[in-house]
Structure 1
């Protein structure tokens, strides 16, 4: 055997896997060079109290392992495809029977050569064996706090799944806040220590008394840390917390069925009627943005949950949107976050008045904002801590919003939106955590070290999400995801979920969520879980890419689930280039002055629901193609089996806003009126499509982030949202340097150009035109057919690839006569998107002699230009003004 690599003896790395009680897997790369598995004597080193050192010395005993020549059984290879080629080792029956006990101490894999010299020492990755031992039994355990008994005398039981812990205690503090106080409330004195009892399912439980209600608690676990062998008592909050104290220092024993936490307004608010997925028109909004700058809202409520139920400028704007046809408000993360100090006394802000005095192209604004970035009250919130509890910084008085008070305010927000007829969608983040290991906010690893996160070949946490990746393919990690979704629906009455980086979850994860929600009924749970909609980011990247670890919940892999994915194909076709381009001026799209027929094809596929089976004539080649055959950088332009699987959008919280994209891509001397019309044209591609329609809040108001492409930590200053139309957010200084620095040379002249700042009148025009788009979607059901078969029969692009077509023109015909029953009697709609600057006369084959006219919505609407659209009966020809989206009806 060749010389042993000293790095092969390192228990700080976990390079082998314990998959089931009776099988371990060893990657071939771990073996000494030139050695086969049978040339090595294998053993499992164990130390109940820890103490094995980094090189593998100090084991209390070594238990023999034998090589299984057949390798991994087929079932395990399918369960762990990235380990399918591993060598398999088996303990004897006695060792396998001891697995549960051994895992509460330190375990390691040792290998020796023929001389007895140690050639391998590594720690083990243990999620597989923990699932093998406990997952089935733990599936029936209610985790976190559950309550039993009659109202007023309900008794709590706390359960935490910690199968590798040697002991667990509940730390319980006396006293609860009885009335609002000027300062933040926190428990004082030493807690009572209550031993918890271990069950066969790996969960530790304790049952209290009614007096425990609303009291603070923490958990303290006795662990042998798996790699270092150190024995430590580790304190933590409860990962299944539904209530928290200020800054998440303590979990709180909150009974979500306690009437004290159920505002009458929430109980009485009508639940919006269920709608089909494709009937949704969604508005993505940040809680703090919504009202932070709204001086028509009481100062104490600005930036809070309560502002959604207060009659301010923002609520009035949501009412306008709802009356026009908006169905849903998608809220950026509202669960407990790590990035915002909840205690106002700990927050720091730069005075807006001081920033307003600085030049529009200055770098000083970003310098001052970044100086407070870790202490200000703004963050998008994609840094989860406790995913079953509301974020405290969004309460009206964070220092007083203890436990159930957060619940009450969150429910008031839901009530306020439901009163407007708007469904509530919550942004969910189950793909990563902010921390792992024993860091402050690492609530999962503190409870079960090494279990909840997805690990690489050395046992380090994967970070392809830019954070610590959660492995929801592990049973209890998936359970956290499912429990969270069920809780927000049952106890807060929310209506949908958007999943961050959904492709890092498996299709099975999303199917488990769907099944759990579908099981909720009005009779048993007070809600109809089947009416809850699901969608997310179906991107394919990182360690899971290409189904490396499971069948992912990505674009094109969710057939039959009804779960939507964001359609980047339509987005890039409309905007041009890619959101990843180093130069934002790269590539012009349909709405930004481009003349690329490939964009036209991608746009047409998106308008028809992103279906891979769609048939159309390509504008690029003039030949018939399927949606799947339309190219998107080597991927299929059409990927969906059904239109509800596609969420069409042109901007979101990520990347530049639509208005900023127009500013960067259009020539600086482009007249403002053309910029406004291009903004409306871009929104029309989304709103008049057969998929789900999705707007970023403020797109209809020409919202700018002063060209910032990644404003997650850019503070209040660069994240302005103003439905009062006083300030669209442009020219507020150069944005923060991270992610934007190389672009500054392009940005500064634009920010300094006062002609690029829209007026209040400009924003009002844009808003009116955008509202008309919502009205069109609502008024014409043929835009929302809802099935691939109906789209196949009724939707066509009659001028594409013909002598009448052009790269900056899309004509979509939806022929209601082709259907057995045209929705609401619509006979047909004709959508014409003219991206050229001049009027265009378009002869539509097959429509000569038919009577078409502009939809009444646009005839009576805010856009004076579109009213110039005319139809020539004999020729079957439509005349459409430049930069116009027109909808005609038959």
Structure 2
């Protein structure tokens, strides 16, 4: 006889707090269950949330039968839900389809039991995004809109809600009770709406939603802000009814704002900048404006003067880290914690005290990168001089206007791939309006968080619509010139193509913007629950090739720096001394290092050629192949199909800055002068690559974060920049322990060494080099070829194959071939030397060239370049160590 305690400990069959079945269409349910021939299947629903699971099965509620559908999913559903292919499929009879909308406004589950004895096999709740898309494919307006009489209408898509009321507040204070207005439900669209009065303008509001929440197993009355909010009160407590067309929200001249010229995407040069970093420590900005949008209107400030010089040199776009409403920064300035900079500066360069001091206040100091979306279509309030209401709208527009007038277009970093919170969390918005719809769920119905936050599901129609509507607002109402998509690979390719199509439809005549000139790019990394097309073809590097939507290429980054973000902390690369300046970590013999430099030199060449998969190359092993067929570290060395697919970069906000990477990879005995040259060589590779170069703000000034690899919440101390170039931030203490402790023993001696801290002269040299590289890129269209055909026609490499002078990459740009470009030069030769020694190379073709050093390199900013030479009589060039040399032949 069984022990009774053992019987009682056996888990019950089925769980209604799990969502292991999928309602994908009004007639179709998919369930990951071992289907038995003698089993019966049912849908159970309750409009009052009273379903209970017992040993005898689901109790209470109503029951509808399901029939097993042996053919499985049809082609349309397989395309929409590839991760469900092969699972058992069940059908709901046609006479019950009219009940589906009502069922979804309550609690719903499925049950399987043995038909002979009605013993329970399994029971579970359902994931419902698919059936919601089937029933409510809405394409109209949401949020606040005004008619010609300035009467506002508020619309909210909430098809599973039992009731929705508008709570209207005269102001953002919570001292008075709101006025309540019932909202009307449209059965055909799932939209709740209310028509207001002109007097509602500028008042604040929330929605009160009565909705069943699977994660709590009951109906909840959620008071929540509008997912389509255009303005908010401080700390996003209330949405605000605003009209973006109001003259009071537009700076003078806004309607006639002229954009800086942009002939083609490959003329773009991107500069990634954080709004707070830009001015928070700039003494030339009034104290009350530091860290705000308004700082960009201070044209005589150190920061704006710096940007102006870069614009004149060739910079075209400022890429702003997230500036939509984020959940992780205190917007009320008096409630922020002040940092004692004097105390931090007094501590030793390798001290752990700086990060220890900052850690307890890091969530209250006003700093965060901002990859924590709360409301996608409202400017972040902490960057405004007044976070309570619509001032942020005006000031954001003033920032865009100021940068445009400086000659710089503006890119927004957008983060539609996740939200800060989900479920019933206080900062959650989408999931408290339509629970279980907007986020990507795993097989149990839990929200996926492979992006480190709650992943959104852009495969669902209304999530894609939210992206499209939000981006349209930023493009039209804020005149944003480009969008960078965080973890773009977590979206589907079709999402990105729909965005491209929407933007292409915007015209100056009708919308006041040229949508075709708005550039799109993002991170095409392939990982998580969407990897390899698991939820549909995702927007990865390879998938986006040929679309003109750019992806960051890790090929040049890793080849130049060495290693990668997650491996090889001290692994060296082409620009960091691998060939003949090995560090103590590098144990390979010279012959092995030489071979590896030859391999990564092929990657460098392909990156310089726009990362084109079909670019022909003679590999270091003597193989005549193309970029997409040359495999390095297990992946193709190139993947693009057109140059504007290619974002060339060696540093970004993520991971160590370029200079910090050089510091840890260079041999300990390398003097600061060599380290600066390594750093500048890496920047040269980006600046002169075909495609679109991308730079991290401050790299031109040897920016350091004191080896912090993840400074997203590391305060202004670790993220500060001195635009005057007088104070380098290397040696600001050991970086925060949470993300960097494993490397403390390696970096501490480096931080403590005063000889490794850049001087103002070092910073000025790097700055001059950077400006010169931008000017050289701008000096000839040969560096900015617009098609793959032109690149293959006009660009080739010398010194390739097994007999090459290893460490020297020689690129030729020849305008004598094919249709002429806009260039004062008929021919350009660029040489990159990854050795610390001077390298020479001879080629018979040089005897036919009449080359001179590029005029911009004759100004003496780098005296080492005096050692560079071109000898036509001997057909040879000579290139100083860790240098980029550009020779040109005038027409």
TM-score normalised to structure 2 length: 0.95
Any residues of structure 2 matched to 1:44-443 within 5 Å, and which?
44-55=43-54, 57-114=58-115, 115-135=117-137, 138-139=138-139, 141-150=140-149, 154-175=150-171, 186=173, 188-199=175-186, 200-226=188-214, 228-264=216-252, 266-267=254-255, 269-310=257-298, 311-396=300-385, 400-443=386-429
Contact conserved, 2:13 with 2:120, CA < 8 A, in 1? Answer: no
TM-superposed CA distance for 1:414, in Å, is 0.4
Matched residue SS, 2:823: helix
State how far apart, in whole Å, the 1-side matches of 2:12 and 2:692 are. 52
Matched residue SS, 1:508: helix
Among 467, 481, 485, the residue aligned to 2:453: 467
Contact conserved, 2:808 with 2:839, CA < 8 A, in 1? Answer: no
Among 569, 586, 591, the residue aligned to 2:555: 569
Contact conserved, 2:485 with 2:522, CA < 8 A, in 1? Answer: yes
State how far apart, in whole Å, the 1-side matches of 2:852 and 2:832 are. 15
Matched residue SS, 2:133: helix
Moved more, 46-55 or 267-276: 267-276
Partner of 2:695: 695
Moved more, 667-676 or 529-538: 667-676
Moved more, 53-62 or 82-91: 53-62
Render the CA deviation track for 1:807-866: whole Å, top value 9, x for unaligned.
Answer: 311001111112222333531211100121222221134222321111112123622322
TM-superposed CA distance for 1:691, in Å, is 1.4
Matched residue SS, 1:827: strand
Contact conserved, 1:592 with 1:662, CA < 8 A, in 2? Answer: no
Contact conserved, 1:336 with 1:391, CA < 8 A, in 2? Answer: yes
Any residues of structure 2 matched to 1:634-649 within 5 Å, and which?
634-649=634-649
Render the CA deviation track for 1:640-677: whole Å, top value 9, x for unaligned.
Answer: 11111010000000000000001001122211211121
1:809 aligns with 2:798: no
Contact conserved, 1:769 with 1:861, CA < 8 A, in 2? Answer: no
Any residues of structure 2 matched to 1:479-490 within 5 Å, and which?
479-490=465-476
1:103–1:316 distance in 2 versus 1, CA, 3 Å: same
TM-superposed CA distance for 1:38, in Å, is 3.2
Contact conserved, 2:779 with 2:823, CA < 8 A, in 1? Answer: no
Partner of 1:182: none
1:584 aligns with 2:569: yes
Contact conserved, 1:173 with 1:188, CA < 8 A, in 2? Answer: no
1:347–1:54 distance in 2 versus 1, CA, 3 Å: farther
TM-superposed CA distance for 1:734, in Å, is 0.5
Partner of 2:750: 750
Moved more, 345-354 or 858-867: 858-867
TM-superposed CA distance for 1:720, in Å, is 1.3
How many pairs were matched up?
A: 861
1:496 aligns with 2:482: yes
Contact conserved, 1:437 with 1:449, CA < 8 A, in 2? Answer: yes
State how far apart, in whole Å, the 2-side matches of 1:38 and 1:693 are. 61
Contact conserved, 2:329 with 2:367, CA < 8 A, in 1? Answer: yes
State how far apart, in whole Å, the 1-side matches of 2:10 and 2:144 are. 49
State how far apart, in whole Å, the 2-side matches of 1:633 and 1:529 are. 39
TM-superposed CA distance for 1:188, in Å, is 3.3
Contact conserved, 2:272 with 2:321, CA < 8 A, in 1? Answer: yes
Matched residue SS, 1:603: helix
Contact conserved, 1:107 with 1:226, CA < 8 A, in 2? Answer: no
Contact conserved, 2:58 with 2:111, CA < 8 A, in 1? Answer: no
1:14 aligns with 2:13: no
Q: Which stretches in structure 2 are left out of the alignment for 5+ residues?
A: 1-6, 580-593
Contact conserved, 2:797 with 2:811, CA < 8 A, in 1? Answer: yes
1:713–1:489 distance in 2 versus 1, CA, 3 Å: same
TM-superposed CA distance for 1:421, in Å, is 0.6
Contact conserved, 2:504 with 2:516, CA < 8 A, in 1? Answer: yes
State how far apart, in whole Å, the 2-side matches of 1:214 and 1:851 are. 68
Partner of 1:178: none
Any residues of structure 2 matched to 1:741-890 within 5 Å, and which?
741-801=741-801, 803=803, 805-860=804-859, 862-890=861-889
Contact conserved, 1:277 with 1:533, CA < 8 A, in 2? Answer: yes
CA RMSD of aligned residues (A): 1.5
1:861–1:540 distance in 2 versus 1, CA, 3 Å: farther
Moved more, 292-301 or 92-101: 92-101
State how far apart, in whole Å, the 2-side matches of 1:94 and 1:228 are. 31
Partner of 2:710: 710
1:249–1:709 distance in 2 versus 1, CA, 3 Å: same
Partner of 1:478: 464
TM-superposed CA distance for 1:227, in Å, is 5.1
Contact conserved, 1:329 with 1:422, CA < 8 A, in 2? Answer: yes
Any residues of structure 2 matched to 1:587-606 within 5 Å, and which?
587-594=572-579, 595=594, 596-606=597-607
Any residues of structure 2 matched to 1:484-563 within 5 Å, and which?
484-563=470-549
TM-score normalised to structure 1 length: 0.95
State how far apart, in whole Å, the 1-side matches of 2:756 and 2:217 are. 62
State how far apart, in whole Å, the 2-side matches of 1:54 and 1:587 are. 60
State how far apart, in whole Å, the 2-side matches of 1:69 and 1:775 are. 66
Q: Which stretches in structure 1 are left out of the alignment for 5+ residues?
A: 176-184
Contact conserved, 1:14 with 1:458, CA < 8 A, in 2? Answer: yes
State how far apart, in whole Å, the 1-side matches of 2:577 and 2:242 are. 52
State how far apart, in whole Å, the 1-side matches of 2:270 and 2:871 are. 36
Matched residue SS, 1:204: strand
Matched residue SS, 2:719: coil
Moved more, 260-269 or 235-244: 260-269
State how far apart, in whole Å, the 2-side matches of 1:216 and 1:336 are. 16
State how far apart, in whole Å, the 2-side matches of 1:155 and 1:371 are. 48
Among 11, 27, 31, the residue aligned to 1:26: 31
Moved more, 360-369 or 266-275: 266-275
Render the CA deviation track for 1:409-463: whole Å, top value 9, x for unaligned.
Answer: 1011101110111010000000011111010111000000000000000010111
Partner of 2:583: none
